[in-house]
Structures are given as structure tokens and as C-alpha cells.
Amino acid sequence: MALMAGVAAGDRGAFQQLYQRTAPKLLAAARRILGDTAAAEDAVQEAFVRIWSRATDFDATIASPIAWMATIARHAAIDAVRRGASRISAASTSIDAEIVERLADPATSGERLMAGAELAACLKGLDGDRRSMVLLAYCHGWSREELAERFVRPVATIKTLLRRSLISLKECLGAAR
């Protein structure tokens, strides 16, 4: 909180410390959306420019500093996707396979591997379109409008399907523990 206050006051030292403490987390979030380290680094740089210029907008009663900054980084990554970063193939099976492979990466810790397997199993419980919508939205940064166009459904329907799918995943993951 103190660092955010310093950044809001224009303190470059506070900004440098904030960057050092949070850049790796924001880079990881942007990399998940963009799938490319160089593009993610550009998005994080853009996010920090926004953080510097909008630090006075931060409200600790609404979100924690990292949640606020992660939202800005996520939006910067999504903006990069919309500007023309590569899109994934239209085949939902390849999308599912890619995500399951990432989740069950043997290089990860045992706990993460188990969580990835549980999530993969829960994702398989969703029907094909809903699973693809969740993966495209939350792993690849597609907007509701883009999903509506791809799945030929109204944006409001996409929003409802995503919400219901996330509730199903949460219930499934809760039951798996």
C-alpha cells in the first residue's frame, strides 16, 4: 500500500521497487494470455506505463495493489491480442490438448501437477463449446465479442455460459478435494 501511495505521489523510487516486486507476476499473467514472452514483456511494459499514469486512481477499498495491477496487465495483454497477435486454431480439440498439456507439465511441482489434472478432468466435464469458450477467454484472452462471433451467439449468452461454466468448474474442483 505504501508503495502505491508513493507511486501516486510521483516517487520514482517507489515505482522502481513496485516494479521489482511485481513484474514477474504480471509477466506470468501476460504470458499465459499471449503465449509469447516477447509480446508479454511488451504488454507488461505498457501496463506499467498505465500503472504509473493512473496510480492516483488506485482505491485500496476496492482491490489490493497486486489485483489492481494484474487487471491492468491482463487488459494490456488482451489489447495486444486484439491488435493482431496470433490466434489459435479453430479446432477446439487442439485448444483442449494444448491447455491440458500446459496444466499437466511434468516440470511442475507435484501439487501443481495434481491441481492441473483435477482442472483438466473438470474441463472435460464441460461440453465442447463451453470448454472452448472458457479456454479461449481465460487462457488466451479472447473477449466476449470475439467468442460471440466465433460461436455465433449473442454476447449476453456468451457471458451467461462463461459464468455458468466457471461455477461448474468451481463446484467440480471443490468436490475433487
CB atoms within 10 A of CB 19: 17
Q: Are residues 74 and 96 in the same domain?
A: no
- pLDDT cut 70: percent of the chain above it: 80
DSSP classification of residue 11 = -
Q: What is the pLDDT of residue 91?
A: 35
Residues 134-161: pLDDT tens digits? 888 888 888 888 888 888 889 889 999 9
According to the model, what pLDDT value does residue 177 have?
55
Residue 99 and residue 166 in one domain: yes
**76/133 same-domain check:** no
Q: Report phi then psi at 90, rounded to 5.
A: -75, -15
Alpha-carbon distance of 157 to 148, in angstroms, equals: 8
Per residue in 103-141, pLDDT tens?
Answer: 444 444 555 545 667 888 888 888 888 988 888 888 888
> In the block, which residue shows the cell 474441463?
123
pTM for the model stands at 0.50
Domain CATH for 157:
1.10.10.10
Residue with cell 488482451: 78
